[in-house]
Amino acid sequence: MSAKIPTELTIQDKASLTTGRDFWSTTELKDTDVPSLILTDGPHGLRLQQGGSDHLGLADSVPATCFPPAVTLGSTFDVSLLERVGAAIGAEARAQGVAVVLGPGINIKRSPLCGRNFEYISEDPLLSGALGAALVNGQQSQGVGSSLKHFAANNQEADRMRVSADIDPRPLREIYLRAFERVVRTASPWTVMCSYNRINGVSAAENRWLLTDVLRTEWGFDGVVVSDWGAVTNRVASLKAGLDLEMPGNPGNSVPAITEAIASGELDEAVLDESVDRLLAMTKKAQPATGPADLDANHALAREAAGKGIVLLKNENALLPVRPGTSLAVIGEFAQSPRYQGAGSSQVNPTKIENFLEEICTLQGGELVDFSPGYTLEANAPYNSELAAAAITAATHAETVIFLIGLPSSVESEGFDRADLKLPASQLELLEQVRAVNPNVVVALVGGGVVELPFADEVPAILAAWLGGQGGGGGLADVVTGKVNPSGRLAETIPHRLEDTPAALDFPGEHGHVRYGEGIFVGYRWYDARKSSVRYPFGHGLGYSSFEYSALAVSQLDDGLCATLKLRNTTEIAGREIVQLYLGLPGTAVARAPRSLAAFACIELGAGEEREVELRVDRSEIAYWDTRVETWIVEPGNYEVSVGASSRDIRLTESMSIAGEIVPVAINEETTLAELMADPIGGAVMAQFAGEALSGISGGDGDSESQEMMASMLGSMPIGRLLNFPGSPMTRESLDQLIGGILGARAAAAQHPGH
């Protein structure tokens, strides 16, 4: 038994600690100092249920601030803002005596159809990791633990309890695990929640490679691994894999299973003790409840976050912001019946709700606003001619139309995926008719994910308002009127069509398996590699200010690189710019996207202000996962360092040579001539032999061009095959000498580096 575990605890006591007492709390041990802890849903606000309990958001919960979901928070690109949001959630949780809030969710948006994308931050692992770490740091600063989820590859809701995400090693490491690694290493979450799905055939809850080898041994995680609710099917197998806490509680089945497995020798008691150690350590971190949180301040923060997460996609002729005195026709039921969060386990019971109609009337003047609902919010609602006629009349008499369009809540939820990317046909039809009578239309998109935008070329202004939380109505009104200068950026690409998306042919899989056939080419990496047109690219977003980039300089650091540039606000309006740095490597020897996000910064500048901006890129953002040696490797080469306002709005580019690391190839009979010649030591040894060998095989005839062609053709030939070619000077003895000589030279170089 571990020295940290009280000696009076029996095997049954210890086993009981590894499964919850009930739906939301851990097991306490009476007559000891081991308390019960409350865990409850997040991730964008506290969902503490009292009385009836469920994991699907059906039962009521105590009032709490409903912050914007991750789809909106991700679009802020704002680390400091998300740390403040995390701290506010933590403060409300601690006031209610909650020890762990289940969040944030940082799974990659592999397909825009994923029903839970509103809970996830981005299609990019760097952005997901940086913002996820900010939420964890903020929440845990209040003495309340986070539960980083869903580990790992939970990228769809279809068959989510058992589907196997079949992923090759490079995309698994570079795309789907990378954000988790960043958060674990930089923010030390108290818990990590395993996902329901299988990964390459092995359940996440029983995946020792995932939960122990990678998470603990490689990344150094020392917290608690908790199951998603209902993810455990075999408690003994999951305990062996490294899953410490099964939720919800199942003591009647799990405790006997563990005790019997130890009695029979199937399970080593030391394995149980390791989990108990970690669980006891978590109980010591938990802090006592405090006084009530400042809900008014948190509501103001929710509104701020909503405004900063709105993305201005298009703004022709400076239609936005609407000027004081401009008459408005506000069209869309969403204006008075806001959709502010997604459905499922993350549903928060808000402390108050702002709707856009009331807030725009307050800011613009109610006498200047004419409202018409235009449509109803039922799924597949037919075109309503009576509502439409009133909306068209309102649009006819207004200077500017604010048209709210989006998805009803019934099509976006945990538990199922969307069927397509289309907006409701009745809303699109009404929009077309409104445009016919008033071309000055501002479209505000409401929803938890991207949609097809067939009207994008026809309307002058488009806002992605996403799901704004309880302050979303005010946040949108702030942006429309110019009280807030929009600075949100797309954390996911908006495609033209579903058929264009990377996973379109491999989603959601079949017969219990989904093949991640797009590999590392997820999101903008896919579109850029294929040179495909998109509706709006990753990182895109406009504002009411414009910015000039200049004087890019790049220097190398021991652990990466540093880029500096000058940024100037060229307008008379204070604003924020999201400066984005991308890395590319022309001529790379491995599959790569043309460029990938490696750093970003939110920069606030006053009217006409100029400032120097510094962006640091860690080595981890330069490296790729080399499957030959199963580790991160920086490929040597001349890298392109680009900065700009989106993945396709690159303003400045510089080159920088990085020495990188040479991976020695395995030397045996299957090593090819090309691999051997590219190896520093193997190439030197082989050079004396290559000319004679190639000349013998080719017969020694032909001009230099023919000889070069022959060398290229033979480059893919394993050296052992030279034994079988007529004219080759290679013999068994000389082959063995060649291989032995190279291995010997390598060994000598390893003993005397630098010589």
Of residues 159, 228, 370, 417, which has the active-site annotation? 228
Q: At residue 528, what are phi and psi to the nearest 5 degrees?
A: -70, -40
Residue where the block lists tokens 């105590």: 62
| 228 is known as an active-site residue | yes
d(CA 246, CA 239): 9
CA-wise closest residue to 95 among 262, 297, 274: 297
The secondary structure element, H or E, covering residue 704 is helix 704-714
Q: Is the peptide bond before 508 cis (omega within 30 degrees of 0)?
A: yes
**C-beta of residue 360 within 8 angstroms of C-beta of residue 480:** yes
**Inter-residue contact 299 to 290 (CB < 8 Å):** no
* Tokens 């210890």 belong to residue: 14
Q: Which tokens go with 514?
A: 């989904």
What's the CA gap between 572 and 382, in Å, rounded?
46
What is the rounded distance in angstroms from the CA atom of residue 174 to the CA atom of residue 593? 12
Neighbours of 650 (CB within 10 A): 17
Which helix (H) or strand (E) is 638 found in, with range? strand 637-646
When computed from its CA atoms, the radius of gyration of the chain, rounded to whole angstroms, is 29
Which residues have C-beta within 8 Å of that of residue 551, sequence separation ≥ 6? 564, 565, 566
Rounded CA gap, 537 and 533, in Å?
Answer: 9
Q: Return the structure tokens found at 356.
A: 């856009």
Return all residues near 309 (Cβ < 8 A) that are at least 6 apart. 68, 72, 73, 74, 75, 76, 466, 468, 475, 488
The half-sphere exposure of 605 on its side-chain side, counting CA atoms within 13 A, is 27
Look-up: residue for tokens 């590859």? 153
Total Cβ atoms within 10 A of residue 479: 28
Between 269-285 and 251-264, two packed helices, what is the crossing angle to 10 degrees? 140
Tokens at residue 382, please? 């037919």
Q: Which residues are part of the catalytic machinery?
A: 228
